[in-house]
Structures are given as structure tokens and as C-alpha cells.
A and B are shown apart, each in its own frame.
Chain A
Amino acid sequence: MAVTRTPSRITTGVAGGIGTSAPRPDGALKVTGEFAYSSDLWAEDMLWGFTLRSPHAHAEIRSIDTTGALRVPGVHAVLTHEDLPAKTHYGLEIADQPVLAIGRVRFHGEPVALVAADHPETARRAAERIRVEYVELEPIVDEATATAPDAAVLHPGRTDRHSRHVPHPNIVHRQPIRRGDVAAARAAADVVVRGDYEVGMQDQAFLGPESGLAVPAEDGGVDLYIATQWLHVDRDQLAPVLGLPPEKVRLTLSGVGGAFGAREDLSMQAHACLLALRTGRPVKIVYSREESFFGHVHRHPAKLSYEHGATRDGRLLYVAARIVLDGGAYASSTPAVVGNAASLGVGPYEVDNVEVEAVGLYTNNPPCGAMRGFGAVQACFAYESQMDRLAAELGMDPVELRRRNAVSQGSVMPTGQVIDAPAPVAELLRRVKEMPLPPERPWLPGAVVGDGGPDGGAGAVDVRALPGGLSNTTHGEGVVRGVGYAVGIKNVGFSEGFDDYSTARVRLEMIGGEPVAMVHTAMAEVGQGGVTVHGQIVRTELGVERVTIHPADTRVGSAGSTSASRQTYMTGGAVKLACEAVRAEVLRLGRERLGGTSPLWGTDDTGLFLEGGKVVTAEGRPLASLAEVLGSDAIDLTREHHHRRTEPFDLRTGQGFGHVQYSFCAHRAVVEVDTELGLVKVVEMAAAQDVGRALNPKSVEGQIHGGTAQGLGLAVMEEILVSDEGRVRNPSFTDYLIPTFLDMPPMRVEILELADPHAPYGLRGVGEAPTLSSTPAVVAAIRAATGRALTRVPVRPEHILGL
């Protein structure tokens, strides 16, 4: 059957290799509305799927009666766990999550049953007729209730690899980091500061809802068109659930409307495939915004206790910390998040004596997993708040305190890992500190405040720039300005011994008399601009202008996940390797076919390059055109890129070469606070980041802007509110607020390019680091303006007012 609006092939005719701000190859499609996002897919005879979800956070399921739903005209299938053909559970690290609830629900919104119908409204109404008998159970909501002596065990019979090392079965994973002698250092410290911090549950809030189209195939398999971050790991989890061999589960990436970690776990993938296989018809599922809040994992909310000891001159002697991350009902990627929070928990600072412990909990709260920053965000808020507290205690400038302790190349991390690439933390701090500050605004006294309209009068202050904006809550009285700084450290790529790799296939051939290169990978383009960079790499390596990006699918090897800031490093690296192999083959063919025409062809490919569609010598002398070398042949080669091996952290001491690469970003925030109402207006954000090598400077800036916005959101507005019963109270964009155009201030960005000797082109993953430090920088600025301690994010008006 015909599937229309499948993902489009992207062709570019652009000059522009690495280091240029080449425009996106999918840009024109995206601005005309022609780009097919996963919710835009359509197929003939398509049905609509709908998911019935649990209204309770913790309950026993006594019975499910689907007869009422099956009687609704237009309904084609209703499925419960009894209809699952094979494996019933899935998961990224631990297969603990049921495809459809079996006997028990563990979080509010857990999928219980599925309906396929000929109209989405029919499916929704039919689902309302499914009768589920629940017996509510006491919910586990935090560490105390999870580890209480009589606590219900959420996953009895655990056999995963972490279960042997945790003190209680409701703890998913625990990672201590021990280095030096904290007790001795504590005795020697001139100054000690302690603090307890809390980070609320943030949502990725990508705009394109979870959606996809499953099409049953004639061979008994299924084709799934899907917005995801990692096609192959989706397939690895799907095939056992569907009871199909992996080759019969074919996935093609459709347009992805943002991801930020939330598409790492399965959402509707298995559900749509099960309904399609049952009905024999294509099935599309599109989540509503409310369902999206239930359908993906969130950022782990955290409670963090820190103690820092230092000498009088501001040298850190020790850090002791405990980080408790709420993983919610299922493990998702909690073990890796715990590893990150622990190993990056001290921040980008040299400290000889460290005792950190991070734990991840099972509770009946919404499941938490990957989100941009991945465990490093929560720790950064706490250690940067501590650095400000310590600076205040020492009477020292907070930036100076950070610079005195900043790591640099050669520093030893608390895990014992030596940083073997540039780590310009002090320089990044210097840069944000020295950027010019936005001019003071003449709010008071006697300033003329207008609405910014044409009648505002000369010299009038635009009320839109005030906290509260056009709500007209202040004309400047009680408004004070504050400036705050922060810096963070994030790992790039998958850590702790994971054999992380990516695959790329590059094909070079003559089409219409012109050399054309095609890149085929399974990389998920989620907006980050990987497709742009792939074209740039090919143009650089093969010297051809025309590059076609093949749609990402499972017909080529895995590209790994679009996460951990790893795709340019990993899949970009694979594209580079494949190009190098293609180039070697071009030169071999050239020697074989044309070697007699010039001695410059030599006996190997040293000294020859591909440029402008030609083979040229180091001096730029053309030897032959690609047309002469290739003729009608195509060169089509596939290569894998593995990064250097890491090792797991020791489960007792946390020592180990755990991370591939570190990235750093520093922020300065300027805020104005209405101290009478507790309203905050962020006036400006400034950031400095080392990216190793900016393959596409404009995209790099875009990532820093976007990451900063998410950090600002966590600082002042974003939080999923969960009731004491474990119910989500704000699953909508009316009640879960993300920054608007009015919330985001102008930004200054400075980019450093200190090459990492271990990375392709010297690049450093960019996407995540800017989400770390923007949150503590904004909070530090609010503290500077108000004098309040502010130990919890998001900061709310009542915290500023001390209510």
C-alpha cells in the first residue's frame, strides 16, 4: 500500500566545507512546510492508535474489560498485555518496563491498553469504554518511602547487574567516588561551607509530539517510520517484543521535532507496530501534548547535599557530596545518569580529596532518564551554588575563586582520570567576566516609563523590559539588578566502558557528468544539524560539491544515539573514515587506469588529494578529473568509527578512565528582580565555550543559545509538579512553562577552538555543556540582586520573597 509523505531525500548543491556556516540542507523544506515530521505521515487505509493510561501512580490491576470498546463502530482492535505475542518488557539498560501494564501500574500515565480505530476521536472514545478495576497502593515518592523497612519493592526479583551493589532493591544504582583523605582535609580546612540543594523535575518539552506510522509488510514484518534518537536500539528493543527477527523490523527516521533526550526510550513504537500487525493495516499514533508529558522520561529531580572545605586563600581542600536522583518507576538510563552525576559531581575543579556518592531511586513518580546534560546539570547547580557560598565566606570574588581552582590540561579528575586535552576553564571564566555589561537602565528615580509604543516619549523606559512586562506590575520601584557566574563540565560520548561506535556509508559516482557523493547513516537528525555537518565533511574530504544525504534507516549499521553531544564526533568521524577509504580507492583506481600518463601518480596515495572534482597533487596540479578515474563505476564503502576505549568506574572507589572527552562552558547572567513581587527578568546571558573546532560556527552558536535557554527555563520556570499521590499536575503547555521570546534575553557568545588531539578534526561535542552553567548563573544573579540563599530550582517568587 502507498505510503505518502515519507521522509524526503535531501540534496545539496552548496559549496562549503568544514569551518564554514553552511546552511542546513533541510532548511528549505522546513520553511515551506514540506518537511515530513513523524506526525505528518499518512498512508492509505490508515488507522489511528490510542493509548489508555493509568490514572493512578501505584495500583494493582484486578481486571481489564475491553468488550465495551470493541463494540464501538470504527474500532478495529483493542489490545492489553494478554495480546502481547512475545517479550513483555523492554528498557535501555534494564528491561524492567512493561509494554502494557501487567497486574500493576507503577506511575501515573502508564500504558494499560491500546485501541486502533478509523478516526482518532473514535479511538479516544473507545478507550474510555475500557473498564479497568484498580486497587490503589501506597505510592513510593522519595528516598525515605523507597527505603523504609516496610516499603513495597517496586521490582521484585531484580537480576540486573546493578542489583548486587545496591543497599535496597528500590535503589537502581549507586556510585561512590573516593579519592584522597577527606577526614584529614576537613581537619586542615580554614573554611567549610555546607548546603542542601534541590532540582525540580524538568521536561525536554520538544515541540513535535511522539508520533509515527507502522506499516505491516508482506513478509510478516513491519516498517516503522518514526521520530527517534537511535533507530537501532529501538529495533533491538522492538523485535523481541513483536516476536520478529530483527531483519523483519525495519525503521526509517521521519522528521523529528526536537528530542533533548526524551526520544531515547521507546514511547509509541511498540504500540503502533503491535496494532499494525494485529489489524493488517497501517497504524499512526500521534500523542497529544498531555500524552507527551506521560509518554517520555524526564530529567531526574535531585536532592544534593554538599560540603566544601578550603584554605583561607581559596584553594579547595575537599568536597564531600551526596546526590539522590529520583528515577521514577522504571530504570531507563538512570544507572548512566548516576555515573555522570557522581563522576562530574565536583565540577571543573582540582580537588585532591573527594567523597561523592550518587544514588538513583525507583519510586512511583514519572520515569526519568535522559535529558540534555544528563546528571551533570543537577550537580552543576549544587557545586556552583557552593562555590558562590564559599566565595562569600572567604570574602573573595566568586570568579576569582573558580579560576584559582579550575582544572586545566593535565589535571586529575576525582575518578583519577587525567584530562589529556585542552581544558580552558579559567580562560572561559575570564572571557565571560570581561564581556561588556549591558547598560544600567534608568528605572529610578523619576524615570519615565511607557509601554514602548510610539507615544512613550523621548527617553522613556520600555515597560516591556521590566519584570512583569506588560502586566504593568511595576514601573521600576523595587527593581534591582544582579550579576552571576557559573561554569560546568560535561562528558562527551558514551562512558564507562561502553563500546560506542557509529557507521557511515559513502558512495561516489558520476551522475549527469558531475561527481556526486551520497552519505548513508542511521544518525537521527533531531535538529542539531548533523546532516549539515555530514555534507561539509564530504565536501572537505572528497572535494565534490554535490552531496546527497540518504534518509536514515536500519539498512545501514548503527550510528548510536543522537545524545551525549556525540554525533558530530562519532558519526561525523565515521563519515570522515568512509570518505578517506573512498579517496584511497579513487587514487588506487586512478593509478591503475591512468598511472601511465604521469609519474606523479606514484605507487601509493601519499601527496595526492581530491579537490574541485579532480585528483590534484600537493601543489594543486590536477592529474585527472573524477570522471576520468571513475568512468561509470561507483565507489561505495562503509566504515565504523569507535572512540578510544573507556573503562567502568570501580564500584567501590569510582576510579577509572570513564569518559572519552570533556567539554566546558561558562555563563554570566544579568537579571533584574522586582523584589516586591518576586518577579525576575533576565536582562542578558553571556556564554563562552570551547568547541575544539567549530565545524559549523552558526550551528554551534545555535546550540549554545538553545542550551542556555533550557538552563534558564530550569532556573526560573520549568518544573513538572507531582502531587503527594504521584499524580502529574501540569501536563500541558498552559501549566508547564518553557521560555518564550519575552523570557529569553539577548545573548553574547564567544567560541574557543582549542583542538582535542584525540577527536576527529579536534572537535569537541557542543550540545550539552551550555545547559549546565546557565541555571546556576541565573540563580547566582538573583541571589546577588536579592541576598536570598535560593537553594532550589526553579526559583519561584515565594523563594525570592522568603515566604
Chain B
Amino acid sequence: MRVSFTVNGRRLEADDVWEGESLLYVLRERLGLPGAKNACEQGECGSCTVRLDGVPVCACLVAAGQAQDRAVETVEGLGTASGLSPVQRAFVDAGAVQCGFCTPGLLVAVDELLERVPRPSDADVREALSGNLCRCTGYEKILEAVRLAAGGPDAPGAAAGPAAGEAGGAPAGEAG
């Protein structure tokens, strides 16, 4: 079948889609958008979080056909390496990225959270991101990144974690 939908503001079509394919498979393997990750493929880890008509979903649990005529936003729509969004910048600056496999899903979830709750409490952040597993960071630096993105570097609590290092620092590198 053919699936037509909007991805990061662009109208796209995928042809020869088998009915059993997930939105995740179509994004990654047919449209060349591998930002949403494949880690559990049963909606448990959040690595494939994308927004479907604005609502965060696990793309692995959405049948490709369900995306017909709908709007999908992936991490690729947030910003580019030369123009990071504030949330992306905060993740790099806070040291919230280690292996980075969970990062794209977390970024989409955080982006949606901050749109809904611009100044979330720590408990709000933990609750909102409890569907996104991270195996590397212990979540502490992710929390720091969200505080940073929510309030900027001068926000109270932005670097108030007991283990907070200096926030910010030098700019990140670029792809060459």
C-alpha cells in the first residue's frame, strides 16, 4: 500500500508498504529517517518516541497505515547539527548524552513536555520521561538538561543538583 503523511512539515509518500510494517520501520527503512531508534519494538523503552499530530507516541506501536494524512514529527525536525534547538543544546551542554541511543526519543518527549509545562518540577520531569529508558546516564544529567532547557543557564536550580558540574562550557563540535 501507499502511505502519505507529513513528516517534519514535509509531505512524504512511502510505496509498497506491507500492512504489518510499523511507522518506525517506514521512517527508518523506507524514508531514510533513522533518528527514531529501534530498541525494544514493544513500546517499553521510548527510544522511538515521535509526535503524531502533536502527541508523543512510540512509533514502533503505530501501524504505518495509521499515519495516513497525519503529521509526524521526529528528532530530525528539532534542529540540525549547525543549528541546535535549545533542548538539543541543553542535552549536549549538560553531559546528558553518553551512548546517545535513547537521546532522540528523550528529546522529542522533552520538547513536548516543555511545550505543555514550560517550567516543570523535577517530579514532573521524572513522571513525563519515565517511559524513556536510558541505560548510561542514571538520568541525573538528563534532569539537569531539562532544567537547563526550561530555564536557561540562569534559572534557579539549573545547576543545583548535588553533583552539578559547571553548566554550559564550550560549544559542541560539528560534523566534518
- B residues 141-156 in Cβ contact with A at 8 Å: 141-143
Give min CB distance, B85 to chain A, whole Å.
9
User: B92 near A24 (CB under 8 angstroms)?
Assistant: yes
Give bound CA distance, A709 to B141, whole Å: 13
Among A25-33, A95-103, A380-388, A643-651, the stretch that binds chain B is A25-33
Q: A23-B93, A24-B92, A207-B102 are in contact. Are A733 and B42 (CB under 8 A)?
A: yes
User: B75 near A208 (CB under 8 angstroms)?
Assistant: no
Give min CB distance, A666 to chain B, whole Å.
15
User: B80 near A32 (CB under 8 angstroms)?
Assistant: yes
Q: A207-B102, A702-B98 are in contact. Are A34 and B81 (CB under 8 A)?
A: yes
- A residues 126-167 in Cβ contact with B at 8 Å: none
Residue-wise interface mask of B (54-85) relative to A, using a CB-CB cutoff of 8 A (1 in contact, 0 not): 00000000000000000000111011110010
A548 contacts which chain B residues (CB < 8 A)? Answer: 176
Among A239-247, A255-263, A411-419, A788-796, the stretch that binds chain B is A255-263
User: Contacting B84 at CB < 8 Å: which of A31, A256, A288, A527?
Assistant: A31
Give bound CA distance, A701 to B139, whole Å: 12
User: B169 near A22 (CB under 8 angstroms)?
Assistant: yes
Give min CB distance, B21 to chain A, whole Å.
8
User: A257 near B39 (CB under 8 angstroms)?
Assistant: yes
User: A258 near B101 (CB under 8 angstroms)?
Assistant: yes
Give bound CA distance, A2 to B103, whole Å: 28
B76 contacts which chain A residues (CB < 8 A)? Answer: 32-34
User: A207 near B101 (CB under 8 angstroms)?
Assistant: yes
User: B100 near A702 (CB under 8 angstroms)?
Assistant: no
Q: Does A784 contact B (CB under 8 A)?
A: no
For the side of the interface on A, what is the size category? 35 or more
A-B contacts at CB below 8 angstroms, number = 255
Residue-wise interface mask of B (156-176) relative to A, using a CB-CB cutoff of 8 A (1 in contact, 0 not): 000001110110011111111
A686 contacts which chain B residues (CB < 8 A)? Answer: 162
User: Contacting B175 at CB < 8 Å: which of A8, A204, A528, A748?
Assistant: A8
User: A741 near B45 (CB under 8 angstroms)?
Assistant: no
User: B123 near A464 (CB under 8 angstroms)?
Assistant: yes
Q: A31-B88, A464-B123, A705-B140 are in contact. Are A207 and B39 (CB under 8 A)?
A: yes
Q: A5-B34, A33-B75 are in contact. Are A702 and B95 (CB under 8 A)?
A: yes
Q: Does A482 contact B (CB under 8 A)?
A: no
- A residues 677-705 in Cβ contact with B at 8 Å: 686, 697-699, 701-702, 704-705
Q: Does A405 contact B (CB under 8 A)?
A: no
User: B130 near A742 (CB under 8 angstroms)?
Assistant: yes
Q: Does B40 contact A (CB under 8 A)?
A: yes
Give min CB distance, B67 to chain A, whole Å.
18
Give bound CA distance, A548 to B163, whole Å: 30
User: A35 near B100 (CB under 8 angstroms)?
Assistant: yes
User: B137 near A740 (CB under 8 angstroms)?
Assistant: no
User: B133 near A738 (CB under 8 angstroms)?
Assistant: yes
Q: Does B127 contact A (CB under 8 A)?
A: yes
Give bound CA distance, A746 to B103, whole Å: 20
Give bound CA distance, A459 to B28, whole Å: 48
A738 contacts which chain B residues (CB < 8 A)? Answer: 133, 135
Q: Does B10 contact A (CB under 8 A)?
A: no
Give bound CA distance, A205 to B137, whole Å: 13
Q: Does B23 contact A (CB under 8 A)?
A: no
User: B44 near A22 (CB under 8 angstroms)?
Assistant: no
Give bound CA distance, A748 to B161, whole Å: 8
Nearest residue (CB) in A for B87 is A31
Q: Does B9 contact A (CB under 8 A)?
A: no
User: A36 near B34 (CB under 8 angstroms)?
Assistant: yes
Q: Does B52 contact A (CB under 8 A)?
A: no
Give bound CA distance, A686 to B122, whole Å: 18
B136 contacts which chain A residues (CB < 8 A)? Answer: 258, 527, 702, 706
Q: Does A21 contact B (CB under 8 A)?
A: yes
User: B78 near A16 (CB under 8 angstroms)?
Assistant: no
User: A258 near B99 (CB under 8 angstroms)?
Assistant: yes
Q: A23-B93, A464-B127, A747-B163 are in contact. Are A208 and B34 (CB under 8 A)?
A: no
User: B173 near A529 (CB under 8 angstroms)?
Assistant: no
User: B176 near A733 (CB under 8 angstroms)?
Assistant: no
A286 contacts which chain B residues (CB < 8 A)? Answer: 38
User: A14 near B135 (CB under 8 angstroms)?
Assistant: no
A28 contacts which chain B residues (CB < 8 A)? Answer: 81, 84, 88, 92, 172-175
- B residues 14-65 in Cβ contact with A at 8 Å: 18, 20, 28-29, 32-42, 44-45, 47
A30 contacts which chain B residues (CB < 8 A)? Answer: 97, 100, 103
Q: Does B91 contact A (CB under 8 A)?
A: yes
User: Contacting A32 at CB < 8 Å: which of B35, B37, B133?
Assistant: B35
User: Contacting A527 at CB < 8 Å: which of B29, B91, B100, B123?
Assistant: B100
User: Contacting B173 at CB < 8 Å: which of A10, A260, A470, A698?
Assistant: A10
Residue-wise interface mask of A (741-776) relative to B, using a CB-CB cutoff of 8 A (1 in contact, 0 not): 110101111000000000000000000000000000
User: Nearest 9 CB-CB pairs, A to B?
Assistant: A33-B35, A527-B99, A705-B138, A257-B101, A30-B100, A11-B176, A12-B173, A733-B44, A40-B34
**22 A–B contact pairs at CB < 8 A?**
A8-B175, A22-B169, A23-B95, A23-B172, A25-B173, A26-B173, A28-B88, A31-B79, A31-B104, A32-B76, A33-B34, A119-B18, A208-B37, A258-B136, A462-B123, A527-B98, A527-B100, A705-B137, A706-B138, A732-B42, A746-B161, A748-B163
Given A31-B103, A207-B37, 18 other A-B contacts at CB below 8 A? A11-B174, A16-B170, A27-B92, A28-B84, A29-B81, A31-B97, A40-B34, A207-B45, A255-B100, A257-B101, A698-B165, A701-B95, A701-B165, A702-B98, A733-B39, A733-B45, A746-B140, A747-B163
